[in-house]
Structure 1
Amino acid sequence: MTLSSSPKRSSKRVRIAAATAAVAVGAGLFAAGAASADHAAPRTDKEIPNLTKVTDKIKAYYGDTVDAAGQHYASPDSNYAKQVADIEKKAKAHLEGVVKKNARNGRVAQGKKAKPAIVLDLDDTTLLSYNYELQVGFHFTPESQDAYLKSTDMSPVFGMPKLVNWAKAKGIEVFYVTGRSEHQREWSARNLKNVGYKPVADPAHFFLKNKKNPPAYLPCGATCTTVEYKAGTRKHIESQGYDIVANFGDQYSDLKGGYADRTFKLPNPMYYLP
């Protein structure tokens, strides 16, 4: 997931609770969700899922648990956790194949050896925003996100630290590419470290949106769409001698644009980012 701290960007953060319900209760609601995402006006109230019922579906999917302080967390026994585990199993099998192939032949890209790498989004790919979303009632604002990230560590997405740390130990370089803003770098790096991600999120491996001083390798500068920003950053990473063998994200906009041999979509029924 790529969250932005820009008020302008947050206006594009489209809530698709309808699509969430579609995943949970069938294709009948999918059309309504798609219509909402496309900003089409429903013709009647019957095309709009009841918000309370959708929220209940989300909680059930994540196996909502509440601690003594009233904070909400996902359950490791939830259907969400099971779905994530299945995706991670497929991803690891792919990466094991990459490791074996490299051991036999080495990897060649653009006429020279390139080191294998993976790229990971942050929110709802490596870090789980469920508690934050429940805390703000699924109403994202840059201010509430800043306040949360500054003081609180998000839980890791189930199983992802183990997979990422394994990849690093096998010689696969790890890069984090997020739509979070540059001013959130310290909080984000702290969070990754505190919840068990061993690959260091230093400036050479951790890319955040910088609208004040956008990097020269992004032709779109401060006006990049999510796809342009993410794909352009992956292109930059590969230009440094890496071959991105897998790209992980919870939004399709995290994964579009090329510059990755394989993509892995993590589930996220809480919001939609074009």
Structure 2
Amino acid sequence: MPISTVKRSSRTLVILAAVSAGALVAGGTMALADSAPRTDKQITNMTTEVANIEAYYGDTKDAAGEHWPSAQSNYAIQVAGIESKAEGYLADKSKHDKGAKKAIVLDVDDTSLSTYNYELETTFVYSPASNATYIATKTMPAVFGMNTLAAKAVAEGYTVFYITGRPESQRTYTEANLTAVGFPAATSANLFMKNAANPPSYLPCGATCTTDQYKSGTRAYLESQGYRIVANFGDQYSDLSGGHADHTYKIPNPMYFIP
């Protein structure tokens, strides 16, 4: 986890650096919590942490100055191992071909599409404005192998659903990006996006849903439509918690955390 962590569900930057928590004491001063670092030596330097992330992703820089992960990186190797296990699991017809319409669910950012270049451009500091501009003007590459996994799933009779925390206003760009990098077509029927202005009736929490509530509630809705979610893929534990999937696969992402 980098020192700068983005809490994207509420679009709030969280700095996990000098003081992790505090308690108000008499006079209104702040006392360090027991878990707070006692010296600077207990804190990973931010420059070092970014360098570690770049090394893990096998950072490469093109002529335009944009950053891309390497297909030979430890990140790519780790993702490939997860995908290999998932593909074997999905191919087991004796387990999954039992009448119900079988499906898989994919998160979008850093599960299907890599935001690595955006994170480097913004030094891991998310803002809705910069992110919206990036999504509207650039094509994010597929997370290594995830487009192939999704295509294989379709060939084996699965319906692919995408559940993302991106807002409804980014639907056109998201559909185009997924299609451009080889994912099964994303449409209004299989791409679920957050709609704060008009939340769906199947989410009791409406526009106030946490990430967990929104994603698990949407999966529950898919089950109510007769689908059996055989596998659910996400880079955040909040993509995967809440049930309504036979199996979950965590895609690695050390760049940010969404509770």
TM-score above 0.5, yes or no: yes
C-alpha contact 2:119 2:126 (8 A) present in aligned 1: yes
Q: TM-score, with normalisation over the residues of structure 1?
A: 0.83
> Which residue pairs with 2:103 in the alignment?
117
Which has a greater percent of helix?
A: 1
> Which residue pairs with 1:262 in the alignment?
247
Which secondary structure state, in structure 1, belongs to the residue aligned with residue 193 of structure 2?
strand
- For 1:13-50, what per-residue CA distance to the aligned partner results, in whole angstroms no more than 9, with x for missing partners? 5466x8xxxxxxxxxxxxx99x58xx964333223210
Once the two structures are TM-superposed, the CA of residue 232 in structure 1 deviates from its matched residue by 0.2
Structure 1 unmatched ranges of 5 or more: 1-5, 19-31, 108-112
Does 2:124 match 1:129?
no
Once the two structures are TM-superposed, the CA of residue 267 in structure 1 deviates from its matched residue by 0.3
C-alpha contact 1:14 1:272 (8 A) present in aligned 2: no
Displaced runs of 4 or more, over 3 A: 13-16, 39-43
C-alpha contact 2:104 2:158 (8 A) present in aligned 1: yes
Does 2:37 match 1:42?
yes
Greater gyration radius: 2
Q: TM-score, with normalisation over the residues of structure 2?
A: 0.88
Once the two structures are TM-superposed, the CA of residue 100 in structure 1 deviates from its matched residue by 3.9
Flag the 1:71–1:236 CA change in 2: closer, same or farther, 3 A: same
Does 2:149 match 1:163?
yes
Once the two structures are TM-superposed, the CA of residue 92 in structure 1 deviates from its matched residue by 0.5
Alpha-carbon separation, structure 2, partners of 1:227 and 1:263: 14
Flag the 1:272–1:222 CA change in 2: closer, same or farther, 3 A: same
Does 2:216 match 1:231?
yes
Calculate the aligned-residue CA RMSD, in Å.
Answer: 2.1
Which secondary structure state, in structure 2, belongs to the residue aligned with residue 128 of structure 1?
coil
- For 1:85-144, what per-residue CA distance to the aligned partner results, in whole angstroms no more than 9, with x for missing partners? 0000010111011x3445xxx42xxxxx31110000000000000011001111100000
Once the two structures are TM-superposed, the CA of residue 200 in structure 1 deviates from its matched residue by 1.7
> Which residue pairs with 1:140 in the alignment?
126
Does 2:70 match 1:75?
yes
Does 2:244 match 1:244?
no
Alpha-carbon separation, structure 2, partners of 1:260 and 1:145: 30
What are the residue-to-residue correspondences of 1:92-111 with 2, within 5 Å? 92-97=87-92, 99-102=93-96, 106-107=97-98
Alpha-carbon separation, structure 2, partners of 1:87 and 1:207: 24
> Which residue pairs with 1:87 in the alignment?
82
C-alpha contact 1:15 1:270 (8 A) present in aligned 2: no
Structure 2 unmatched ranges of 5 or more: 1-6, 22-32
- For 1:127-173, what per-residue CA distance to the aligned partner results, in whole angstroms no more than 9, with x for missing partners? 00001100111110000000000010101000111110000011011
Which of 58, 61, 64 aligns to 1:66? It is 61
Which of 28, 31, 51 aligns to 1:56? It is 51
